[in-house]
Chains A and B, each alone.
Chain A
């Protein structure tokens, strides 16, 4: 694996956008301007970007309630997402979705999902479609250590195996399903990949806080699936910087745990150290990206605030394509 300068800058930029998007939401939510439930993806950026950077627009992903990172990595418009989360008319889903249901089929993002485990069977459907199209495309389900315990996920894995479709199950283990630890909730000794293996799939494991390790493992997996070997899975060990939802007091965290995670398992810091250490990029290069990202997020928030609210007269529009 050898990424060129532009690819490295792009990957860093997308991870940085996700980080700053989420950190800014964490601050803005406190103002009371943003309603509903928001689940932040900060900490897990290397997973979304390490995977989605290797996909085409025709590859489909289904995401989770913690979906902002997947959306950004797959190419959803960042300003449109911010407007959506603010519940504005110009939102990516016209203010119908909010944080939990953002989708953009034009970039192959079939939807975040408010139902834990709701997406996995849909990725198998996308894989059935991909096989019919015969272009080597794949359907990918992002699931967490929470969704790995849902029956839908088991059904989806088995269906993918018996039909031999190009479905990929990405398990992001951030060690907390809502407020419960994987040490309690995930049987199989917290080894999620072993479940995929038990269904008859080849599975990979990688450090999800390391972009390069994630990228390399997924590159192998993707080549295997695109070659027509049927479904596969990957488990990424990662970290969630914030609570399950914004407002979560996180009383379940250990003393100093969050400080340790941020100090030792920050995928952005690790990326910077790696690429500057290998003289692939300089600190100035990355600082330049940081400045662009901060400006983008500032603009996104300002434009979201200024955007109109949806017209209440449209509340029942778009339920059907046609209804008479």
Chain B
């Protein structure tokens, strides 16, 4: 075991996997950085510091700086994947899915199905997402729900360094397109990372807490916020089952249902507006499949139905907080 943060886990996994498999390539804006400048290549190494040293080690045919052309980045990844490579395409901000959606949604997600199951498209798209750094309406969104709704894509959201390694390794060794979400506020989160080969299977939620009184389902940054709420509630003798989804497609429905069947109470925490959200999706799934186990209506803790604001206090008001999670838990427990 080594102690490292999520950023370091991603960098070391990319190095190790590109070393292992010469078909893996990386492309995106400033993944090398500095090309065409006085500073020269690798003056940046990724705006998020997630690709240093790769260009030097693997060369410009495998580590490709692109112009600011998100459709071409994703489309080139799709074409390279159909041609036998394993591309990793980086979207500097997940919001840029808006610029490149056709290549994700109409193209790479559908190739295998449209072509009669005779092909595969092993592309990994890394998307940097999430609010919390005052990056406002076009650089802060958590667009995982939209992509989770698209058949053909897998959607992955690591919250620990161990999972960052395990899930990225799994993505790079699988044969389907994977949307790999990296929360911009979580890069510095430290933890133990298993040495050597470490793969985390998709569709297996991580049990963060076992408390028995209420089931809280979260992903991304909302996992640590839910843990803060759990600490407060524990002081009052309230025990939380907390599930970190790890992947929203596939979704570990069994883990959610098993917990709700024990607790009878569900809170879903989702860093996005409420309509057609992951929270609504999970609440509906539980209501349909575990209705008789429920002792209270499922609660959704989400952002409001609004874009993400800039001002620090407004952004804090927008993001679901530990306090709101705590309040929701108390509300479902009080329901009679």
Interface residues, chain A, CB within 8 Å of chain B? 60, 62, 91-97, 101, 103-106, 110-111, 113-115, 118, 120-132, 139, 151-152, 155-156, 158-159, 162-163, 316-324
Residues of A close to B154: CB separation below 8 A: 320, 323
Give 30 A-B contacts (CB < 8 Å), ordered by A residue.
A60-B83, A91-B116, A93-B115, A96-B113, A97-B116, A103-B114, A106-B118, A110-B79, A111-B111, A111-B115, A115-B107, A118-B75, A121-B74, A121-B75, A121-B79, A121-B103, A122-B78, A123-B79, A124-B79, A126-B79, A126-B83, A128-B25, A128-B79, A152-B102, A152-B103, A155-B72, A156-B75, A322-B175, A324-B203, A324-B250
Assess whether B196 is interfacial by the CB under 8 Å rule.
no
Residues of A close to B102: CB separation below 8 A: 115, 118, 152
Q: How far is the CA of A118 from the CA of B84 in the complex (A)?
A: 19
Q: Name the residue in B110, B111, B119 with the highest tally of chain A Cβ atoms < 10 Å from its Cβ.
A: B119
1/0 contact string of B66-89 vs chain A (CB within 8 Å): 110101111111111111110100
Residues of A close to B113: CB separation below 8 A: 96, 318-319
Q: How far is the CA of A114 from the CA of B111 in the complex (A)?
A: 12
Residues of B close to A122: CB separation below 8 A: 75-76, 78-79, 82, 107
- Report yes or no: B76 in contact with A124, Cβ–Cβ below 8 A: yes
Q: How far is the CA of A115 from the CA of B114 in the complex (A)?
A: 13
Q: Given the known A-B contacts A97-B114, A324-B203, are A159 and B76 also in contact in the complex, defined by CB atoms under 8 Å?
A: yes
Q: Report B198-221 residues with CB < 8 Å from chain A CB.
A: 201-203
- Report yes or no: B75 in contact with A92, Cβ–Cβ below 8 A: no
Besides A114-B106, A318-B113, 12 more A-B contacts (Cβ < 8 Å) are A60-B79, A93-B115, A110-B82, A115-B102, A115-B106, A118-B103, A121-B74, A124-B72, A125-B80, A127-B79, A128-B25, A131-B61
Residues of B close to A94: CB separation below 8 A: 116-117
Top 10 A-B pairs ranked by shortest CB distance?
A121-B75, A125-B79, A318-B117, A122-B79, A93-B116, A129-B83, A155-B72, A94-B116, A125-B80, A125-B76
Residues of B close to A130: CB separation below 8 A: 83
Assess whether B33 is interfacial by the CB under 8 Å rule.
no
Q: How far is the CA of A51 from the CA of B81 in the complex (A)?
A: 24
- Report yes or no: B75 in contact with A124, Cβ–Cβ below 8 A: yes
Assess whether B322 is interfacial by the CB under 8 Å rule.
no
Residues of A close to B79: CB separation below 8 A: 60, 62, 110, 121-129, 139
Residues of B close to A101: CB separation below 8 A: 110, 114-115
- Closest Cβ of chain A to B203, distance in Å, is 5
- Report yes or no: A152 in contact with B83, Cβ–Cβ below 8 A: no
- Report yes or no: A318 in contact with B176, Cβ–Cβ below 8 A: no
Q: How far is the CA of A131 from the CA of B62 in the complex (A)?
A: 10
- Closest Cβ of chain B to A152, distance in Å, is 5
Nearest-neighbor residue (CB-CB) of A324 within chain B: B203
- Report yes or no: A132 in contact with B62, Cβ–Cβ below 8 A: yes
Nearest-neighbor residue (CB-CB) of A113 within chain B: B107
Q: How far is the CA of A38 from the CA of B175 in the complex (A)?
A: 31
Nearest-neighbor residue (CB-CB) of B70 within chain A: A155
Interface residues, chain B, CB within 8 Å of chain A? 25, 27, 61-62, 64, 66-67, 69, 71-85, 87, 102-103, 106-107, 110-120, 151-152, 154, 174-176, 201-203, 250
Residues of A close to B74: CB separation below 8 A: 121
Tell which of A111, A152, A163 touches B64, judged by Cβ atoms closer than 8 Å. A163
- Closest Cβ of chain B to A231, distance in Å, is 12
- Report yes or no: B151 in contact with A319, Cβ–Cβ below 8 A: yes
Q: How far is the CA of A93 from the CA of B112 in the complex (A)?
A: 10
- Closest Cβ of chain B to A65, distance in Å, is 12
Tell which of A91, A113, A151 touches B71, judged by Cβ atoms closer than 8 Å. A151
- Closest Cβ of chain B to A146, distance in Å, is 15
- Closest Cβ of chain B to A259, distance in Å, is 37
- Report yes or no: B114 in contact with A111, Cβ–Cβ below 8 A: yes
Tell which of B62, B116, B176 touches A320, judged by Cβ atoms closer than 8 Å. B176
Residues of B close to A317: CB separation below 8 A: 117
Q: Given the known A-B contacts A121-B72, A132-B62, A155-B71, are A96 and B115 also in contact in the complex, defined by CB atoms under 8 Å?
A: yes
- Closest Cβ of chain B to A153, distance in Å, is 10
Nearest-neighbor residue (CB-CB) of B120 within chain A: A321
Q: Given the known A-B contacts A118-B107, A158-B69, A159-B69, are A125 and B115 also in contact in the complex, defined by CB atoms under 8 Å?
A: no
- Report yes or no: B67 in contact with A126, Cβ–Cβ below 8 A: no
- Report yes or no: A125 in contact with B176, Cβ–Cβ below 8 A: no
- Closest Cβ of chain B to A79, distance in Å, is 15
Residues of A close to B25: CB separation below 8 A: 128, 132
Q: How far is the CA of A322 from the CA of B79 in the complex (A)?
A: 21
- Report yes or no: A319 in contact with B112, Cβ–Cβ below 8 A: yes
- Closest Cβ of chain B to A257, distance in Å, is 33
Residues of B close to A151: CB separation below 8 A: 71
Q: How far is the CA of A3 from the CA of B87 in the complex (A)?
A: 39
- Report yes or no: A155 in contact with B64, Cβ–Cβ below 8 A: no
Residues of B close to A163: CB separation below 8 A: 64, 66
- Report yes or no: B72 in contact with A126, Cβ–Cβ below 8 A: no
- Closest Cβ of chain B to A144, distance in Å, is 17
- Report yes or no: A152 in contact with B75, Cβ–Cβ below 8 A: yes
Q: How far is the CA of A131 from the CA of B84 in the complex (A)?
A: 12
Nearest-neighbor residue (CB-CB) of B89 within chain A: A125
- Closest Cβ of chain B to A102, distance in Å, is 8
Nearest-neighbor residue (CB-CB) of A141 within chain B: B79
Q: How far is the CA of A158 from the CA of B176 in the complex (A)?
A: 28
Q: Given the known A-B contacts A103-B119, A152-B71, A322-B174, are A159 and B85 also in contact in the complex, defined by CB atoms under 8 Å?
A: no
- Report yes or no: A318 in contact with B112, Cβ–Cβ below 8 A: yes
- Report yes or no: B114 in contact with A96, Cβ–Cβ below 8 A: yes
Q: Name the residue in B71, B75, B78 with the highest tally of chain A Cβ atoms < 10 Å from its Cβ.
A: B75
Tell which of B85, B106, B118 touches A132, judged by Cβ atoms closer than 8 Å. B85
Q: How far is the CA of A152 from the CA of B102 in the complex (A)?
A: 10
Residues of B close to A110: CB separation below 8 A: 79, 82-83
- Report yes or no: A105 in contact with B76, Cβ–Cβ below 8 A: no
- Report yes or no: B82 in contact with A125, Cβ–Cβ below 8 A: yes
Nearest-neighbor residue (CB-CB) of A321 within chain B: B175
